[in-house]
Amino acid sequence: MANRFRLELPRRPRRMRRTGSLRALCCETEVRPSHLIQPLFVMDGEEAPEPIESMPGMARLSIKDLVGECRELRALGISGVALFPKLSAERKTDDGREALNPDTLVLRAIRAIKAAVPEITVITDLALDPYTLHGHDGLWDAGAQDLANDATVELLAEMAVLAAAAGVDMVAPSDMMDGRVGAIRAALDDHGFEATAIMAYSAKFASAFYGPFRDAVGSASSAGTHHLDKRTYQLNPANRREALTEVALDEAEGADVLMVKPAGPYLDIIREVREETELPLAAYQVSGEYAQIMAAAERGWLDLERCRDESLLAIRRAGADMILTYFAKAFAATFAESGDAQ
């Protein structure tokens, strides 16, 4: 079509968007299955998987099914899994003592996975919320109406040693207690586990996006609410500088990987942390982020695959080296089908 009007432009950025191959050559950020970590929920017994209503497509798995899932994930190119146990009610106490049982559920799961799929990286959370009646991440001081920081740290260090002995590759303290990374590093080294890495939940915010996860591990039912108030230990969503302080402390104490959680609503924090550190940076696309995309897609309001992929790309673009996401398996399956794996 003839057009008499012509702009005299020395630079036309659209030239490099004209074809798919040109766009690929100029692509600045990519997401591959190897960048992703799949969170998995494990339960006792040999029952069939229990679907998690608030997280469509996710389920609690027996150890046998968990091992099978890990085989599938590794075959799809997923680098790691993060384990979260769902304990029966009778194993929960105010002091969370089941966490120190050498044969507790998550330790049995670690041993089973590493025996069957040794090449996949196994990460286990260090926090007490799956083990306590009150649903908090540490030991509750009723008088202070707060968590007992140092007593909790002592227990977390013991949990880390047990996980390392079971064969875990990384422990991930998610409790946000002061000083826990240093104490865990010292405990691991003292017991000969210098090779066990620490993925620190360094900037974990007191977010409203955690509700479906609390359903999945049963901490919501323990506490009687999805809206358990953890603001005395998790970060204020309003505070950027405080997040950077926490990150710097964890790095100084010996963390091997730093994390920002949640991911999508905190892309600015991911970018700032990326600019402050040379350590590997993880971001956790949490249960509420997953649930809102799934719910909108189920109603036909969003294109699930495109929105999923765009959300992951945004997290990588902000600076995350690795992403914990409930979309990991689905993304990897689509990636393999597309032929990008070649």
State how far the Cα of 31 lies from the Cα of 338, in Å rounded to an integer.
13
For residue 85, list its beta bridge partners: 42
Amino acid at 16: M
Alpha-carbon distance values, 336 to 36, 95, 124, 251, 330 (Å): 14, 45, 27, 36, 10
Q: What SS3 state is found at 200?
A: strand
**Cβ–Cβ under 8 Å, residues 261 and 175:** no
State how far the Cα of 46 lies from the Cα of 35, in Å rounded to an integer.
31
In 3D, which of 54, 33, 29, 14 has the Cα closest to residue 322? Answer: 33
State how far the Cα of 262 lies from the Cα of 272, in Å rounded to an integer.
15
Cβ within 8 Å of residue 80, ≥6 positions away? 37, 38, 120, 121, 122, 123, 169, 170, 322
In 3D, which of 5, 66, 73, 79 has the Cα closest to residue 35? Answer: 79
Active-site residue list? 204, 261
